[in-house]
Structure 1
Amino acid sequence: MSALPRHVPSSTDLPAVHWLRSSYSTGANNCVETARPLTGPWAGMLAVRDSKAPAGPALLFSPESWADFTATIKA
């Protein structure tokens, strides 16, 4: 990966973001959610959190790091 993800202690520290859940997700809340902060110090990053803990921590990836991560998982 091109850079390590950043950690945000609580996803509530990312105001005014719209969290999205995968269309492959079931109703059991056992997946991850993603959001793209548009303002603030995390603008342009991709935020990822556990859907079971919406107020819990989030990881922030650069677009390049996220693309590398998902490509590695697919391979």
Structure 2
Amino acid sequence: MILKTDWRKSQRCSGNSSCVEFAELANGNVALRDSKQDDGPVLVFTPEEWESFVAGVRDGEFDLV
């Protein structure tokens, strides 16, 4: 369970579009959730996992093309 925290959306998220939100947790981990589901499931990453994920996104590793 994730306690009350400050969730942030990407700066690239605009309007009412579907976005993900992330939060930096007190223990250094990073939480990720669907912005439309405040009480929905949350993924939690260690700092190393988060850095790896962000690097993969920047490198286009997850592009659907």
Asked whether the two chains share a fold, i.e. TM above 0.5, the reply is yes
Q: What is the CA–CA distance in structure 1 between the aligned matches of 2:17 and 2:42, rounded to whole Å?
A: 16
Aligned residues: CA RMSD: 1.2
Match of residue 23 from structure 1? 11
Gaps of 5+ in 1: 1-12
Flag as ranges the 4+ runs of structure 1 deviating above 2 A.
none
What residue identity is the alignment partner of 1:31?
A: C
What residue identity is the alignment partner of 2:25?
A: P
What TM-score does the superposition give when structure 2 sets the normalisation length? 0.80
Aligned: 1:48 with 2:32 = yes
What TM-score does the superposition give when structure 1 sets the normalisation length? 0.71
Residue deviations 1:19-66 (CA, integer Å, cap 9, x gap): 01111111114110001121xxxx211000000111100000011111
Q: Comparing both chains, which one has the higher relative contact order based on Cα–Cα distances under 8 Å and sequence gaps of 6 or more?
A: 1
Q: What is the CA–CA distance in structure 2 between the aligned matches of 1:30 and 1:23, rounded to whole Å?
A: 13
